[in-house]
Amino acid sequence: MTSFCIASLEVRYWIAIRHFSKLESRRITRTSL
């Protein structure tokens, strides 16, 4: 059970980081343009 919870948390953390990086890249491109 604990290992499953940790795995789900890692997946959520990874998805959140990918989403945040996408938003940051969009913001950077807009400011550069």
Give the global pTM: 0.53
**Distance, CA of 3 to CA of 27 (rounded, Å):** 36
pLDDT tens per residue, range 17-30: 999 998 888 887 77
Query: Is residue 18 helix, strand or coil?
Result: helix
Q: What is the dihedral of CA 17, 23, 26, 31, to 10 degrees?
A: -110
- On the question of pLDDT at 4 being above 70, the answer is yes
